[in-house]
Amino acid sequence: MDKKKTNKKAVTEHQYHIDLRWLKQEGYLHQGGSGKISWKDSRPVHFTIARSQIILEYSSWLFGFDRGGVGLNQTIQLGFTTCHFGGTRTWFFCPECGRRCVVLYGLNRIFLCRKCQGLAYACQCETKYKRTMRRAKKLLKELETSIHDKRICKPKGMWQQTFDRKVAEYKMYEDLLWELYE
């Protein structure tokens, strides 16, 4: 197995976050839109959209500080870009660095972009063995088979050339997994 040290950064998947895509999908992304975002283990974050900003209201208890639950407010600027085929795309501007982003992560009492919070994606912390295993499983899923099947059959509708390429790629990952395991 791969004995390299893994990256000890916190990962985005385990953090409180506010996602613009979710806000749009739920119909909140308009002037005067307001609501709340809740997680299982915390108090909610209330938000209001006014002009080109979103105002967040939450208690410090959200992050485990100040058991009294001090009220906090954070204003985050929104940016807009036009799309090639019409419409606009909305962005958060990170309060710390000003970078455009779609998701802000809550850590240490404020919501900032992934880079300012020092977060990594889970796949960035994987060992070479786990990364190779994930890729091999993804190929098997595309080939509509499992790791336990002895024979790989071409899925209906898949071109033979595509099937041959995916099988060859899977066999390469399988060989690499055996090398890494030893």
pLDDT band for position 25 (cuts 50, 70, 90): very high
Strand segments (E) across 38-152: 45-50, 53-59, 71-82, 88-93, 100-101, 103-107, 110-112
> Where is average pLDDT lowest: 6-10, 84-88, 97-101?
6-10
Q: What is the pLDDT of residue 152?
A: 85
Q: What is the pLDDT of residue 53?
A: 93
- Given a cut of 60, whether residue 5 has pLDDT beyond it is no
Helix, strand or coil for residue 96?
A: coil
> Where is average pLDDT lowest: 62-76, 108-122, 154-168?
62-76
- Given a cut of 70, whether residue 170 has pLDDT beyond it is yes
Q: What is the pLDDT of residue 126?
A: 78
Q: How far apart are CA 7 and CA 131, in angstroms?
A: 14
Answer whether 0.85 is exceeded by the pTM.
no
Q: What is the pLDDT of residue 113?
A: 94
113: tokens are 């972009």
H-helix segments, the chain? 20-25, 114-117, 128-142, 160-181
What integer is the mean pLDDT of 138-142? 89
Highest mean pLDDT among 7-21, 44-58, 121-135: 44-58
Domain range list for the chain: 12-117, 126-181
pLDDT band for position 133 (cuts 50, 70, 90): confident
Q: What is the pLDDT of residue 6?
A: 47
